[in-house]
Structure 1
Amino acid sequence: MEKFQLTLLFKIIGIGSASGLVYHDEKLYLISDNSTFLYEYSIPTEKLNKIALVENAQDNIAKKDKPDFEAIALKGNDLVVLGSGSTQNRNKVVKYDMNSKKIQERNFEKMYEKIKSQLHISADELNIEGLIVTTETIYFFQRGNGTNGKNGIIYANDDAENQVFQFVPFDLPKIKNIPTTFTDAVLVNDTIYFLASAEDTTSTYLDGEVLGSIIGTIDLKTMKLTGSVQISETNKFEGLTLYKQSENEIEFLLCEDTDSELLESNIYKLVIRD
């Protein structure tokens, strides 16, 4: 994990406050926590397509009104986009079928209430920032940047009728004496690669001074932290997706939330070598 290279790969005009991304078939699918669009960016042609996830979709929504789409994951041909659950209007989940182009929308309020009840997470602590969906299990990455610092992985079988949630807490490395907390994750074989950032705030709602970001690994089977390294002192990276993989190195694409209304997003490439 110590051998890494982080470079700015390109800039996308038209997307602000990028909070998650998925690379698939030479395209980047991005979400923004200020927006109700799914953005489809063709890397070869450099063309951006906007897909409305709701009626009257907008690029820049006021903080108090936004659905706060913070997590995106690939499940088969579906892209699953998830609100953070940090307020009442942030409980939406949207599925986009990349083949049929159809959109399905659900409200996750009951599921989030079940999570809070079963795991004793208060309403002002819940803050889902990452999502992994396998054939059997759904994993939520809870960013513990609230007062109680409840940072960890919430998981259960992917069956809404009979879900019993488990919580695995993680105390991640600190930056300038502030703990880093989960901002995204992706599964590669049996290893979870995750991003975490340090932000000088105890609020899941209000932003604070960004102190940097790390990338780390967790063994999926044991749920144990296996390594981490700080990759930035200034960026709040919020999106992580697998780009390329070879025997000796793995490449990811990253996006960052700049907490601004400027409609442009930098995409970074992170190379990790054995």
Structure 2
Amino acid sequence: MHSTTLEVYAEIDGIGSASGLFLSEDLLYIIGDNSAYLNEYNIKTKQLRKIQILFEAELNQLENIPKSLKPDFEILCHNNNKLYILGSGSTPKRNLMIEFDLKTQKVIQKDLTDTYTKLKAIAKIDDQNFNLEGSIFTGNEWLLFNRGNGIDAKNGIFDIQEADLAKAKQVKFNPFKLPNIDHVESSFTDAVLVKNEIFFIATAEDTKSTYADGEILGSFIGSINLQTLKLTFSNKISDKHKFEGITLLSQNEHSTTFLLCEDRDSEELKTVIYKLAINF
């Protein structure tokens, strides 16, 4: 049996629509789905640094990019001193991946259109049901989490045996059933690997569209066995929040604690970071 506690950890001005985060010592990296910046927040000094990662001429604004143009960066994952920032793939303008080197600060862009096309074909997911919201990269394998908030409710995990995601060849799709609220199935919003266990967050949102938002019915935390990709446990953690990013804060033999970010689907440049403890 697991119990959870949720509390506010930090409030940060200057960041809107937070959708992914990664903690490295005192530095918390945060992305927004409608921004051309990667945000670096020092949790000790409370200083915020903005790192531009998009430079396209058509972007006449760098914050609150219009919905039809936004890159929809829903994924922020980490491996070997690099951050990987991925678009959701829910529209043709959302197929970009950014590699950011934490040491050199170098930014590399890659187009994932061919890879996303292959994923949709293998999983038999059409454009209206393809919406990636989480990723784990081990160095030679990618796990991509499709959010099943389209009409077909296609929650699932893509397993890609390839280091270069832009050249994906061996792909498997594992459909996944998540808990529901009032007959609305929750759907993946992010995931993180802790040792050999995948911890995920999921939200039940009353919508049949990967594009349009709906009423938030509640959110869950859960875990999946890395080897079997089977559900280990799930707990409801909120009735109203739509959490979209998760990163590990600390772990001991009695508890695992994460930081979560929330997309409030507004244009306000302010984000709240939450601390979630799971007690075993």
> Which of residues 95, 98, 106 is equivalent to 1:91?
95
User: Could you list the per-position Cα deviations for residues 190-245 of structure 1 after superposition, in whole angstroms to 9, with x for gaps in the alignment?
Assistant: 10000000100000000001111000010000110010000000000000000011
| C-alpha separation in 2, matches of 1:126 and 1:37 | 24
| C-alpha separation in 1, matches of 2:189 and 2:2 | 20
Give the corresponding residue for 2:156.
152
Matched, 1:211 2:211: no
Amino acid corresponding to residue 178 of structure 1 in structure 2: V
SS at match of 2:93: coil
The within-5 A match list for 1:175-254 is: 175-254=181-260
Contact 1:119 1:165 in 2 (8 A): no
Give the corresponding residue for 1:70.
74
| C-alpha separation in 1, matches of 2:267 and 2:163 | 38
Matched, 1:24 2:24: yes
Amino acid corresponding to residue 243 of structure 1 in structure 2: L
Give the corresponding residue for 1:124.
128
Amino acid corresponding to residue 125 of structure 1 in structure 2: N
Amino acid corresponding to residue 260 of structure 2 in structure 1: L
1:176 Cα deviation from its structure 2 partner: 2.2
| C-alpha separation in 1, matches of 2:244 and 2:202 | 8
Root-mean-square deviation (CA, aligned residues, Å) is: 1.1
SS at match of 1:72: strand
SS at match of 2:203: strand
Give TM-score, length-normalised by structure 2: 0.96
SS at match of 1:141: strand
Q: Which moved more, 1:92-101 or 1:156-165?
A: 156-165
Contact 1:4 1:273 in 2 (8 A): yes
Give the corresponding residue for 1:45.
45
1:135 Cα deviation from its structure 2 partner: 2.0
Amino acid corresponding to residue 256 of structure 1 in structure 2: E
Amino acid corresponding to residue 252 of structure 1 in structure 2: F
Amino acid corresponding to residue 183 of structure 2 in structure 1: N
Change (3 A) 1:106 1:239: same
Matched, 1:271 2:277: yes
| C-alpha separation in 1, matches of 2:103 and 2:243 | 29
User: Could you list the per-position Cα deviations for residues 50-82 of structure 1 after superposition, in whole angstroms to 9, with x for gaps in the alignment?
Assistant: 000011661111101101000000011100000
| C-alpha separation in 1, matches of 2:72 and 2:133 | 10
Give the corresponding residue for 1:134.
138
| C-alpha separation in 2, matches of 1:162 and 1:16 | 32
| C-alpha separation in 2, matches of 1:88 and 1:205 | 12
Aligned residues: 274
| C-alpha separation in 2, matches of 1:53 and 1:249 | 35
Identity %: 46
Structure 2 residues not aligned, in runs of 5+: none
| C-alpha separation in 1, matches of 2:232 and 2:253 | 19
Contact 1:67 1:89 in 2 (8 A): yes
Amino acid corresponding to residue 92 of structure 1 in structure 2: L
